Structure 1
Amino acid sequence: MSLVFYHARYVPPSLYPSIKEKKEHIGLAALHMLPLSRGTVTLKSASPTDNPVCDPRFLSTHTDRFILHRAVSGNLKIVNTAQFTDVIETEFAPLGFPVLKQESSADEVDARIRAARATVSHPMGTCALGTVLDEEFRVKGVQELRVCDASMFPEHVAAMPSCLIYALAETNNEKSEYGIEWLLFLELDPRVKYSMKRQSSCTDSAGGKHRAIPRNSSIGDW
């Protein structure tokens, strides 16, 4: 069995043109979850049909390079343990690069990182709250335009951003001032008296609050 240091979906195929010749291999990845490097997104021209100019500036800070270097070095230590050496023959190195070992030099590790670095496709912060957006998710200086996705995060999050995006989208959607019509959805207890509050929630006689859902939403989505 051979070892491949890469992120399976994102490694450039050109680095491993003959990987299929190996019958068995395992892949290890090192992910930096809270990078400090910041990229840029700028307009290419005044035409709205032109794609923006994106510069991710991966590993542009010394701290990010140090953290990822330590992570890859940690992987090398792991595969040097007895549990791995019993089943792994060697690393299947990409073209033009030496096999990485625990004894590999810092320059060799860094060269591999520069060649194989990639994104896991969760860009964030290009329309951050407080700079591009106000506290109501409105784009500053633009009328009737709100943004609610990962671009609004002012800082990176160290996980898949889906749950946070859902929570922010629900917060955005529940604001009564947006003129959204609501349909109350709850199991009514005939012994309790209910009173409506602001179309978006109701309060029972025991003080418990119940949520409402948008009229055009599918119950299965909630």
Structure 2
Amino acid sequence: MTAIVDPINRFARKVPVWLVYLLYALPIPVQFYLAATGAMGVEPINALEREIGQITLQLLIIGLAITPLRRFAGLNLLKFRRAIGVMAFVYVVVHLGIWVVLDMSLRWEQMWGDIWKRPYITIGMVAFLAMIPLAVTSNNYSVRKLGAATWRNLHKLVYPIAVLGAVHFIMVQKVWEAEPLIYLAVILTLIGLRYIPKQKTSGATVKG
């Protein structure tokens, strides 16, 4: 394992964090271009909304995977976690913006009604609102101001956020599909891995 992980860790140390922002910013205009040029089928707005939403979930999953990968595999990608979280928020804002502007055409009264009447929209909105304090505090100043322990506890909100996001994805389909269920299973697994007790090495000595 070490022979595989060590080169990856060395390579990761050389990769600048800004590259994560760039790589995940590029798909946004590409997806809009595909939707505008008819490459997303007969319902491009719905397809665009779904694609951006899925990338949001994928980013949340990647962020959740970083700690278990470090703990169980020795793969250290912690330097990228903040960028991944910030980009997840960017994608959820774009996802919401597509719904507000393109799907609902700024019909605020109808949107407000749908938030209360349609559970999948309610769940999605709760997840979005919960992401706001995480995005606002994703900086060194907030860590110093809140204190490391409080900051870490606040950012544990990502666990229910990811679960809500997956449930939202499942409910949007209106029929049972395997893909959204797999997303939820992966998220629950990654969260569960955090609660596996750490193995303690024995410090006992053998008496002669």
User: Could you tell me the TM-score, scaled by structure 2's length?
Assistant: 0.26
More helix by percentage: 2
User: Could you tell me the TM-score, scaled by structure 1's length?
Assistant: 0.24
Question: Bigger relative contact order, structure 1 or 2, given CA contacts below 8 A and separation 6+?
Answer: 2
